[in-house]
Amino acid sequence: MPIEDISPVIKEKAPLILAEIQRANSILLHCHPSPDPDSVGSALAMKFALEQMGKKATVIRGDSPIPEGYALFPGIDSIIQKNFGEVDLNSFDLFISVDAANREQITRYSELEFPLSIRTIVIDHHRTNPGYGAVNLVTSEYPATAQIIFYLFKIWSVKLDHDIATNLFIGIYTDTGGFKFEGTDSRTLQAAAELSALAKDFPKVISIMENSFTPQDISFQGVALDNTKSILNGAAGLSVVSYEQLKSKNIEPKYVRAGSISSILNSVKNWLFVGAVLEAESGKVRISFRSKDANRFDVAKLAEAIGGGGHRAAAGAVVTGKSVAEVEGMVVSKAKELYNL
């Protein structure tokens, strides 16, 4: 894609972000809680680009373990096994937050107050992002943060190599649901085509990522699907699972992936939107929503109503201090209110 065809907001913010990078020596990056490939791939690609510029760049894993299926992401072994609260910010000059829609997507272990003691740059594609940095590049025009970063690298004349391209390609591939989610267009496919020419082993990376389930993963899916119901006169489907149910099956929190369940439920033809309400830990409920008709059923609004956020077709939240039954009631009542059901 020619630089002149890149979104004006990216062209406007690109020199401002580059100026912040040029003033820094040591730069911190992170992965958001329950990291997906767009989070991990974007952070690692940015790390490699910063190192090209002669900067010291550190990626921390954040609140959650990195999934085993990401083993072939270039640079995965360089990720530091710390959350944000375990990092000494005095060791850094700049924090670049990628793919984190709000402060809770940086860490849920502590309440962050902005501005931090170091400058913060925000690069994200979630329209619910309030812009908590000194410089904020937030645009929902693109379906993946990795696609935004791809354009930044074009503007900055970063050399795209195998490692950068693989991480960006996998971020775009997954956040578009394999190029089928809302927002995917010819520009997305053009970016992916250019990246795939450099990341020639991407089929193997995808295969490992998508075929690394354990027996515990399958057990979790069985419990979640077995506790799925039709709600709102058949307009929607909802999986609701308590901590006690998971514990009785010896399913640990790390195997509880709400997004995987909502994606499966979204394949049911008569459900126009779906959700997974899962109490992964006692008093901590993870929620994921998906929508087939984002114009009619904008699930970002539903997630925002219960303290989360995301995209019109895919969103989520984490609710603490309430029972899973209470959260289920919140979801149903808010859905009725928002969608006039």
pLDDT per residue over 32-81, tens digit each?
999 999 999 999 999 999 999 999 999 999 999 999 999 999 999 999 99
Domain CATH code at residue 39:
3.90.1640.10
Domain CATH code at residue 271:
3.10.310.30
Give residue 58's domain range: 3-210
* Shared-domain flag, residues 203 and 258: no
* Shared-domain flag, residues 131 and 248: no
Q: Which H helix or E strand runs over 312?
A: none
Query: Higher-confidence residue: 270 or 2?
Result: 270
If we measure between CA atoms, which residue out of 256, 244, 264 comes closest to residue 219?
256
Report the share of the chain in percent with pLDDT over 70. Answer: 99
What tens digit of pLDDT does each residue of 98-144 get?
999 999 999 999 889 999 999 999 999 998 899 999 999 999 999 99
**Structurally, how many domains does the chain consist of?**
2
Query: According to the model, what pLDDT value does residue 341 have?
Result: 85
CA distances from 86 to 120, 132, 297, 302, 311 (A): 18, 21, 39, 33, 30
Q: Which H helix or E strand runs over 23?
A: helix 8-23
Is residue 5 very low, low, confident or very high in pLDDT (cuts 50, 70, 90)? confident
Is residue 194 very low, low, confident or very high in pLDDT (cuts 50, 70, 90)? very high
* Shared-domain flag, residues 135 and 190: yes
Query: According to the model, what pLDDT value does residue 134 have?
Result: 97
